[in-house]
């Protein structure tokens, strides 16, 4: 597996003062986990953005930083973003022991097309976008590829138990849960508006006639 790497700098600024770091194009981060104390660090915003575009929570990252061991294999565990601008505010890196298994969410990618969509006009419904798995850090899969070319009608589904997986990886998600299927297209019901309008018109005329008769009766009295 290719391991991405990032170099982090030491950080002494903590608390509310980290806003000043962000104005300088720096993002506060923490490294914690196996064999180390939680360590506050910082990294350039541009470098961190490039890293996060390449890795998710299931791709190991080699972290180099002052005060840490030469090699630290970590996983991105939490990314805090601004609610409006979505700018990165803070990131947590979890340091792991490469000899111990870890759990992570691995994305599910669909390889198609599905005949139920292309030939029958159905709608592809992906129920699970990722699966929870357990594996050694350096053996964690980047993604699961699911072949959907066998979905040629609206009855067939692909369940978690049918997802191909290597022997050194354990899927923790419910094996009976549906991953993907093709559903029948929605048929819009055509309402006969003209007939309904005709009925409304007749009722309106009757109501008007009744009103005129009542008015005449009142005038005669």
Q: Using one digit for the tens of pLDDT, what is the confidence trace for 150-191?
A: 999 999 999 999 999 999 999 999 999 999 999 999 876 666
List the domain boundaries for the chain: 4-95, 102-183
Paired tokens of 34: 């196996």
| pLDDT interval class at 2 (50, 70, 90) | confident
Assigned CATH for 4-95: 2.40.240.10
Exposure class string for 91-108: b at 16+ Cβ within 10 A, else e: bbbbbbeeeebbebebeb
Sequence-distant (6+) residues with CB within 8 A of 203 are none
Report how far Cα 164 is from the mean position of its chain's Cα atoms.
21
Structure-model confidence comparison of residues 135 and 65, the more confident one? 135
| pLDDT interval class at 217 (50, 70, 90) | very low
User: What pLDDT score was predicted for residue 3?
Assistant: 86
Report pTM: 0.79
Instruction: Give the Cα separation of 207 and 200 in Å (integer).
Output: 10
Mean per-residue pLDDT, 105-131: 97
CATH topology of domain 102-183: RNA Polymerase Alpha Subunit; Chain A, domain 2 (2.170.120)
């Amino acid at each position: 597996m290719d391991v991405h790497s990032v170099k982090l700098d030491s950080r002494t600024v903590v608390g509310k003062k980290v806003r000043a770091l962000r104005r300088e194009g720096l993002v506060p981060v923490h490294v914690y986990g196996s064999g180390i104390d939680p360590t506050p660090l910082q990294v350039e915003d541009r470098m961190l953005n490039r890293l996060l575009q390449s890795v998710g929570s299931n791709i190991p990252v080699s972290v180099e930083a002052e005060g840490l061991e030469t090699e630290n294999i970590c996983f991105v565990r939490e990314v805090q973003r601004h609610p409006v601008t979505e700018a990165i505010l803070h990131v947590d890196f979890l340091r792991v022991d490469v000899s111990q298994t870890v759990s992570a969410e691995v994305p599910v990618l669909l390889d198609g097309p599905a005949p139920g969509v292309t030939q029958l006009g159905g709608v592809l419904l992906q129920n699970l976008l990722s699966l929870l798995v357990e594996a050694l850090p350096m053996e964690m899969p980047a993604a699961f590829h699911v072949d959907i070319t066998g979905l040629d009608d609206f009855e067939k589904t692909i369940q978690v138990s049918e997802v191909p997986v290597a022997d050194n990886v354990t899927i923790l998600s419910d094996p009976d849960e549906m991953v993907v299927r093709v559903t029948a297209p929605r048929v819009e019901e055509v309402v006969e508006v003209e007939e309904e309008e005709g009925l409304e018109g007749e009722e309106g005329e009757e109501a008007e006639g009744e009103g005129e008769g009542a008015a005449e009766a009142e005038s005669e009295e």
